[in-house]
Amino acid sequence: MRFAPSPTGHLHVGGARTALYNWLYAKKTGGRFVLRIEDTDARRSTGDSYEGILRGLRWLGLGWDEGPDLGGDFGPYLQSTRGVFYHSDAQNLLEKGMAYYCFCTPEELEKRKEDSVRKKLDPKYDGRCRNILPEEAAARIDRGDGHVIRFRMPDEGNVVFRDIIRGEFSFSNSDLDDFILIRSDGKPTYNFAVVVDDARMRISHVIRGDDHISNTPRQVHIYNALGYRLPKFAHLPMILGEDRARLSKRHGATSIDYYREKHYLPDAMINYLALLGWSLDGKRELFERKALIEAFSLKKVSKNPSVFDNSRMEHINAEHFKKMPLFPKTVLAYRVLKDEGILPPDFKVDMSRPVDLKLVPGKEPILEEVLKEDRDFDQKEFQRLALIIKVFGNRLKLLKDIPEMLRYYYKDDFAVDEKAVSNYLDSAEARERMLLLSEELDRLKYFDVETVEEALRGLADRLDIDAGELIHPCRVALSGQAVSPDLFWVIIFLGKKKASERLRAAANPKG
Ligand code: GLU
C-alpha cells in the first residue's frame, strides 16, 4: 500500500482520505504503508508542500513504514531522485520495440492537433515517428535533436483490468494514443513513473482517487510491457461539497492544516475521513482507530461520491472529545491554551490545599511528546487545568472552545455578559454583599470547597438572605457570566487572592 502525493499544495481532505484507506488496509492486512513523493514536476513542487504533507500525516497519526525521511528497501522515495529506474525501464521498452523515440516538436504537435480538431478527427498523436529506424533515431539524438520516448500502443484489442471497488473496466486500445513515457527534458511522465515505482516498490494494492481511472489502462499497458505483475486497483469515490460539486476551496476548509490549527482531534478526523466513502453497516458512526482497522474493508467502499458534511464532522469531533480520559484531554487543552496565549496566566493561583487528583501520565506518545517538548511545562497549572476540566465535565464539548470558555481562570480581560451584570450585580445592595463576601474569603484559613461553601452560606444566614443572592452576583463578578460550573469550585480555581480581588472590584466598579 502506498500514498503517493505530489508536493504541489496542502494535504487536502481527499488526499488524507486516500492516505488513510491505504494505511487502514496496510494495518488490517499486516502490510507495509509506503510514502512516495511524486515530485517530477519541478516547477510546481515545493519544499513547503512536502513539509506540510508530512506534518499533516504525522498529525493524523498515519505513520509510514518506508518513505523519503525513513528510507526503506526500495528507495529512494522521492521521484526526482529515481531517474535511473525510469531510464532503465524506458531503455528496456525501446529495446523490445514497445517504445520509440519521437522527434516531433511541440509546435508541430500543436499544429497537427489543431488541424485534427478542425477536421473533426481524433486529436491524438498520429504515430508519425513510430517507424523511425533505431539507427536513424540514434543519429538524430547524436545530432542533438529534441526528442521524447513514446509508448507503442497496440492498434487493436482492449485493455482490461479489475477494480476492487468498481469491478471490471475495459478500454479499447484504439482510443488510447502513443503517450509519452519520457519527456524531452528527460523526466518521466506521471503514468510511466507511477508504474515503474509501484512495481519496483512491490506495491500490492494501488488505492487512490477515481480521477485516476482514466490513467489506469495506460498504466496496465506499461506493467504488461515491462513484465511486471499487476497490482490490485481500488479507486475511491470522489468527495463532494454540500452542493454536490467536487469538494474545493469554495466549500470552505479543505486542508488538513486548517483542522489541525483549529484544534480538531486527530482521532476524530480519522473517524470522519474513514466515513467519507466507507461504512461498516450504514449505521455505526463512532470508531476508535483500532476498531476502524478491524472493521475496514475495501469491499465496503462505496462506488458513489460522498459528501463532506461539516456538521457531521463537528459532531464526531465532539463525541471523541467527550470520550477522552481526563489526562490526555488535559494535555490537549494545555497545548491549546498555550498556543492561544492564554497560558502562562496573568496571575498565579495558589490553591492552598494540594489538589487531590491522581494524574498518572499515560503511555500515549502524544503525552510524552508534550511533556518532553515543553521546556517551561508548569505542573501546577497542569493540575489546576485538569481539575477545571473535570469540574466542567461535558460542558466542554470542543477543544477549540476551551480558550474562550476558560479565559477567566487565566486572564483578567475576560468577556463580560452585560445582561448578567445588570441582572445580578448592578445594585448598591449586591455590591455591598460582594464586599462582605470578599472579606469573608480573606478571613479563611483553609481554602477548600467545603470551607468556602460554609463561609458563603454563613454570610447569607447572617444577612438573612437566600444563598442565591450571593451566589449569582458572585458568579458574574468572578467569571463575567451568568452560568458556570459549581461556584465554590470556581472560587477554588481562582484562588483566594484573585477571587477576593474580583469581588472587591465588582463592589467598587468605578474604583
Ligand atoms: N501523484 C499522484 C496524485 O497526487 C498519485 C496518483 C496515484 O496514486 O497513482 O494524484
Cα torsion 56, 62, 68, 72 to 10°: value is: 170
**Spacing, Cα 263 to ligand 1 middle (Å):** 28
Whether the CB-CB separation of 23 and 266 falls below 8 Å is answered with no
- How confident is the model at residue 379, as a pLDDT? 78
* Active-site hit among 96, 113, 187, 249: 249
Helix (H, G, I), strand (E, B) or coil at 163: strand
Mean pLDDT of 291-320: 95
Place of cell 473535570: 390
Asked if residue 460 has its Cβ within 6 Å of ligand 1, the reply is: no
CA-198 nearest atom, ligand 1: 9
**Per-residue pLDDT band at 353 (split at 50, 70, 90):** low
Asked if residue 165 has its Cβ within 6 Å of ligand 1, the reply is: no
Helix (H, G, I), strand (E, B) or coil at 206: strand
* 214 vs 42 pLDDT, higher one: 214
CA-208 nearest atom, ligand 1: 8
**Per-residue pLDDT band at 347 (split at 50, 70, 90):** very high
Mutation pick for ligand 1 pocket among 12, 21, 208, 232 (CB with most ligand atoms within 8 Å): 208
pLDDT tens-digit profile of 442-491? 999 888 899 999 999 999 999 999 999 999 999 999 999 999 999 999 99
**Spacing, Cα 11 to ligand 1 middle (Å):** 13
Asked if residue 4 has its Cβ within 6 Å of ligand 1, the reply is: yes
Asked if residue 12 has its Cβ within 6 Å of ligand 1, the reply is: no
- 78: Cβ–Cβ under 8 A, 6 or more apart, which residues? 36, 37, 39, 68
Asked if residue 197 has its Cβ within 6 Å of ligand 1, the reply is: no
Q: What is the mean pLDDT of the chain?
A: 93
Does 290 participate in catalysis according to the annotation?
A: no
Whether the CB-CB separation of 178 and 151 falls below 8 Å is answered with yes
- How confident is the model at residue 370, as a pLDDT? 61
CA-215 nearest atom, ligand 1: 9
CA distance 352 to 334: 22
Multiple choice CATH, 2-79+240-310, 3.40.50.12280, 3.20.20.140, 3.40.50.300, 3.40.50.620:
3.40.50.620
Asked if residue 431 has its Cβ within 6 Å of ligand 1, the reply is: no
Checking if the pLDDT of 358 tops 60, the result is no
3 state SS for 201-268 = CCCCEEEEEHHHHHHHHHHHHHHHHHCCCCCEEEEECCEECCCCCECCHHHCCCEHHHHHHCCCCHHH
Percent of the chain with pLDDT over 90: 82
219's grid cell: 498504466
Whether the CB-CB separation of 35 and 66 falls below 8 Å is answered with yes
CA distance 323 to 345: 27
- 412: Cβ–Cβ under 8 A, 6 or more apart, which residues? 346, 347
Mean pLDDT of 361-385: 68
Percent of the chain with pLDDT over 70: 95
**Spacing, Cα 4 to ligand 1 middle (Å):** 5
- How confident is the model at residue 367, as a pLDDT? 53
Asked if residue 402 has its Cβ within 6 Å of ligand 1, the reply is: no
Beta-strand ranges (E) seen in 44-147 are 99-102
CA-15 nearest atom, ligand 1: 4
CB atoms within 10 A of CB 185: 9
Checking if the pLDDT of 361 tops 60, the result is no
Asked if residue 7 has its Cβ within 6 Å of ligand 1, the reply is: no
Checking if the pLDDT of 356 tops 50, the result is no
82-192 in CATH: which number? 3.90.800.10
- How confident is the model at residue 163, as a pLDDT? 98
CA distance 286 to 291: 9
**Spacing, Cα 5 to ligand 1 middle (Å):** 6
**Spacing, Cα 474 to ligand 1 middle (Å):** 60
Asked if residue 480 has its Cβ within 6 Å of ligand 1, the reply is: no
Multiple choice CATH, 418-507, 3.40.720.10, 1.10.10.350, 1.25.40.420, 1.10.8.60:
1.10.10.350
Mean pLDDT of 76-100: 97
Hey, whose CA ends up nearest to atom 5 of ligand 1? Answer: 4
pLDDT tens-digit profile of 10-37? 999 999 999 999 999 999 999 999 999 9
**Spacing, Cα 206 to ligand 1 middle (Å):** 10
CB atoms within 10 A of CB 97: 9
Asked if residue 194 has its Cβ within 6 Å of ligand 1, the reply is: yes
Mean pLDDT of 50-77: 97
> CATH 3.40.50.620 spans which residues of the chain?
2-79+240-310
Q: How far is CA 277 from the centre of its chain?
A: 17
Checking if the pLDDT of 365 tops 60, the result is no
Instruction: Mark out the alpha helices in 245-325 (DSSP H runs).
Output: 256-261, 266-274, 289-295, 310-323
> CATH 3.90.800.10 spans which residues of the chain?
82-192
**Spacing, Cα 104 to ligand 1 middle (Å):** 28
pTM score, two decimals? 0.86
**Per-residue pLDDT band at 357 (split at 50, 70, 90):** very low
DSSP class of residue 78 equals B
CA-3 nearest atom, ligand 1: 8
**Spacing, Cα 207 to ligand 1 middle (Å):** 10
Asked if residue 208 has its Cβ within 6 Å of ligand 1, the reply is: yes
Mean pLDDT of 219-238: 98
CA-5 nearest atom, ligand 1: 4
- How confident is the model at residue 364, as a pLDDT? 47
